[in-house]
Amino acid sequence: MAAEPTDLDETRDRDDARGLDDLRDQARRWLDDDPDPASRDELQAVLDGLPASAPELADRFAGPLTFGTAGLRGPLRAGPNGMNLAVVTQAAAGLVAWLAAQDATGPLVIGYDARHGSREFAERTAQVATGAGRAALLLPRPLPTPVLAYAVRQLDAAAGVMVTASHNPPQDNGYKVYLGAQLGGELGAGAQIVPPADTGIEAAIRAVGPLADVPLGPAGQVVGDDLVVSYVDRAAAVVDPAGARRLKVAYTPLHGVGAAVLTAAFARAGFGIPGVVPDQAVPDPDFPTVSFPNPEEPGAIDRLVGLARRTDADLAIANDPDADRCAVAVRDRGAAGVAGTTGANGSGGWRMLRGDEVGVLLADHLMRRGVQGLYATTIVSSSLLRAMCAARGLPYDETLTGFKWIVRAGGGSAPLVYGYEEALGYCVAPEHVRDKDGITAALTVAELAAGLKAQGRTLTDRLDELAAEFGVHHTDQLSVRVDDLRIIADTMARVRAATPTTLLGQPVTEARDLLPEADVVILRNEAARVVIRPSGTEPKLKAYLEVVEPVADGDVPAARSRAATALAALRAEIAALVQGRAPY
């Protein structure tokens, strides 16, 4: 016999019905204001599927996308919790209203990648700007993010917008905002927004009324190709014109927008044009050959390594889809190959260098070229750059994660000449692009590799030399992906409540909690360093690990072996910590 319904059951049913009615009302109000017929049809189909579609509808209306680490970013779908024409119209209207309130003069310059919806979102942003009486300059075609960052400075724009989701999955898109010199100041001219601009823009977006009342003008003026040529010329100028150029490079843009600009820059700088992975050379918003278009993901550069082996390349380079990041793979004597790639040719395996390895190689190269000024990285990157700057008498600074902070490093105490973050981001020419730039980073890596090749040496040889001088700095990352963001908050609270007193059996000598400035905990002793924080762009908790192993009697391989063993032990300790298991 079925149980009789209780008063509690009836109350829950009434609450569920009331909640569903509220969702319906929100969705209907959204439909009335949505300017995109396709988006309206999509949302209507979800409404028609109620009550079975209630969880999906609730997710779409869980809250509006907000400006985070990289502006707006989310799945392409109808509703406030997605990227769509309505959300972009509101964001653009809020941005131009905020610019007007700041008395900022000059155009809004807009770039876009080749993702689904990118061009449409860029053109709508231009229409909103011109409708508000502000000139809008649209880049001539899908182009890398660093070209937009360059254009903001070059065109003396009030601000810039880049429509991209970088290396996110194909179902996502995003909206990044850059400020010009008037509002960004000397350090932030052409850089991504930081507080309080982000909260000011967010408030202006929320103050936008019905979208039907947002005036739309023409889709702006399309910038000529001379801007792209200018960027290529400036990019090529980052390398020494008298340097070595004999180098064979394999390259992939991972179905993104980097290939045309990178190959033009290589040719302009006097390098041979890289061989490009054929089935990843053309922009494709579906990213058909990779499960996740991020060079750091297992298997993402398999085709690149295959091309490098077939062509006997000296170096393999990958950009992410909007070409602001740069990944480098090298032959590695005795290596087992790149993760996700098996086998090796007669020259040994290939492996992708870590972002910290490329970061210190580029820094060392610039230092050896005599580039004087501030060198900067983030709190989650290797401490090797700090040691190099101290030994060589160069100014150094460490910032929170993200290039919006790196390019503002030092607060103007010394001119920034180089910055990097471990997530494959490098800025080698901040006077031109005040952001990470995968094109100029690739050129500088190629310059270094060509110079070493002319001496019969390799990038791995140079890494060994740095290790012999400063010790092996071995880094790794532990990531925990979650479905419920409350798990991350609970974990950070637990870490703070039971902070480890030892790392690798040695007492913790420094324990820093960066709240309220940032949700970050840092632990350090002479043997190891751990930084724990939530991701700013993904539902992940991240722990950044580093061990430092001195090199005895020049035996770098032995030191690397000891460091690998220590790092594995540290990884186990921190995994236990974040998962709430023993030993903590």
Euclidean distance between CA atoms 533 and 530, whole angstroms:
10
Euclidean distance between CA atoms 516 and 494, whole angstroms:
17
Cα-Cα-Cα-Cα torsion 331, 337, 341, 346, nearest 10 degrees, comes to 60
Q: Which residues contact 329 (CB under 8 A, 6 or more apart)?
A: 301, 304, 305, 308, 315, 316, 317, 318, 338, 350, 351, 352, 353
Element (H, E) at 463: helix 459-470
Euclidean distance between CA atoms 108 and 123, whole angstroms:
12
Q: What is the DSSP letter of 279?
A: G
Euclidean distance between CA atoms 367 and 389, whole angstroms:
9
Euclidean distance between CA atoms 210 and 199, whole angstroms:
21
Nearest Cα to 402, choosing from 544, 194, 239, 132? 194
Q: Does 166 participate in catalysis according to the annotation?
A: yes
H-type alpha helices, 247-401:
259-269, 302-311, 355-368, 384-392
Euclidean distance between CA atoms 188 and 136, whole angstroms:
21
**The token pair that represents 437 in the structure block:** 């730039």
| Residue that the structure tokens 């103050």 belong to | 207
- For residue 142, the tally of other CB atoms under 10 A from its CB is 22
Element (H, E) at 143: none
Q: State how far the alpha carbon of 7 is from the alpha carbons of 13, 17, 20, 539, in Å.
A: 10, 15, 20, 38
Main-chain dihedrals φ then ψ at residue 275, nearest 5 degrees:
-75, 135
3-state secondary structure 177-240: EEECHHHHHHHHCCEECCCCHHHHHHHHHHCCCCHHHCCCCCCCEECCCHHHHHHHHHHHCCCC
Q: Which of 166, 381, 382, 383 is catalytic?
A: 166
Element (H, E) at 418: strand 416-421
Euclidean distance between CA atoms 437 and 76, whole angstroms:
26
Catalytic residues: 166
